[in-house]
Amino acid sequence: MQRKSRLTLVMMAILLAFGTMGIQPAKPVLAANPIRISQAYGGGGNSGATYTNDFIELYNSSNTPVNLAGWSVQYTSATGTTWQVTPLTGSIPANSYYLIQEAAGTGGTTPLPTPDATGAIMMGASNFKVALANSTTAFTTACPTGAVDFVGAGTANCYEGAAAAPAPGNTTAAIRRESGCKDTDYNLADFQALPPTPRNTASPAYVCPVGD
């Protein structure tokens, strides 16, 4: 009887440990949606930047086009609760990208490829939160629920999974691994900071390998 009680206590301790590990500012997202944020770049027009504008890029991992009318991308600072909204229009083709141009800085030498949507958000270069929403209603909390996809970068106080994406900068973007395919709902594992490579609906399509 004593051995059984000890085993019960051990199992309770293990469950409690896992439960404690799960307490983190991870943001719930809508499950199994093929549209995801594939790049977020806030260094446009800054010192040392090549591109003149900030941008957000989406990727459609499905084999069918998706109508984005009524959707939006939303941005706030690393600890912000006031979200700026850029409405989206048109469709994102199957296995393809969609480029949202945001504000320009005073530097940079190269304009973005033709954007599929345009906003005026002045994004931070290193620490920020970006959400993809299937409405144009602005979020109102630091860690909103119900987003289609979400990226917290650098010192962001909300993110998917156990940690935020690596901080990008003036010459690097937060880029989803595997050409936009890797989506484990864990920002640190899914993103890396690399030179920006903006792609729009006219860019070559990319089909995710089986299993991604």
Express each pLDDT in 71-114 by its tens digit: 999 999 999 999 999 999 999 999 999 999 999 999 999 999 99
Q: Comparing 11-20, 51-60, 61-70, which segment has the lowest mean pLDDT? A: 11-20
Q: 20: pLDDT confidence band, cut at 50, 70 and 90?
A: very low
User: b or e along 39-70 (b: 16 or more beta carbons within 10 Å of the residue's beta carbon)?
Assistant: bbbbbbbbeebebbbbbbbbbbbeeeebebee
Q: 33: pLDDT confidence band, cut at 50, 70 and 90?
A: confident
Which of 49, 40, 59 shows the shortest CA–CA distance to 200?
A: 59
DSSP β-bridge partners for residue 67: 91
Q: Bigger pLDDT: 54 or 25?
A: 54
- Dist. CA 86–CA 62, nearest whole Å: 23
- Dist. CA 57–CA 98, nearest whole Å: 6
pLDDT(193) > 60: yes
